[in-house]
Amino acid sequence: MVTKQEEFWKRDNFLVITDGTKPAMKWTISELKKRGKSVAVLDYSDKPIEGSIQEISEVPDSVKNVIIGITKSEPARVIEKLTEKGITDFWVHWRTDTCDVNHLEYKQGLKIITGRCPMMYLGSSGSIHGFHRFVSKALGKY
């Protein structure tokens, strides 16, 4: 049985939102690109990743799936702005989800994954992320 998390990564086009506080976001960008996925980056950090965008208004219309890993601002406000662009599928990085994000999970039409690190699903089996995946599966938290 394929989990909703595994299904999320089968898609082809992503927006990764970072503010530089979660290292897994850079790894997520890298891994998605290695897999041939289309990846746009919205970077709210003081030193944005080269080629990234800095405003929601710059998000390409083709984006359908968003990974959010920010701690300097409320991710729920970002989700609300992106839903105005018609985006409904979100992955909010483990330990960056908030009460406001959890409330949005009940909003009709939104699909929000919380409580999981993207790299647990994307990392190679020989990495720390693969070990995390192994432990999570053993504990029934995958």
Domains of the chain: 4-138 (3.40.50.720)
- Rounded to an integer, the average pLDDT of 72-89 is 96
pLDDT band at 22 (very low <50, low <70, confident <90, very high): very high
Per-residue pLDDT band for 132 (boundaries 50, 70, 90) equals low
Q: What percent of the chain has pLDDT over 90?
A: 70
Judge whether 13 and 105 are in contact, CB under 8 Å. Answer: no
pLDDT of residue 89: 97
Residue 3 is predicted with a pLDDT of 85
Beta-bridge partners for 42? 17, 53
* 8 Å CB contact between 15 and 67: yes
Helix (H, G, I), strand (E, B) or coil at 19: coil
Give the per-residue pLDDT at 114.
Answer: 94
Q: Is the pLDDT of residue 48 over 70?
A: yes
Q: What angle do CA 75, 82, 102 make, to 5 degrees?
A: 40
pLDDT band at 107 (very low <50, low <70, confident <90, very high): confident
Examine the pLDDT at 126 and tell me if it is beyond 70: no
Residue type at 83 in one-letter notation: T
Which residue has better confidence, 132 or 71?
Answer: 71
Find the largest Cα–Cα distance for the chain: 42
Asked if pLDDT for residue 130 goes beyond 90, the answer is no
Are 14 and 32 spatial neighbours (Cβ–Cβ below 8 Å)?
yes
In this prediction the pTM is 0.87
CA 135 to chain centre: 21
Closest CA to 95 of 46, 47, 23: 23
Report the SS3 class of residue 135. helix
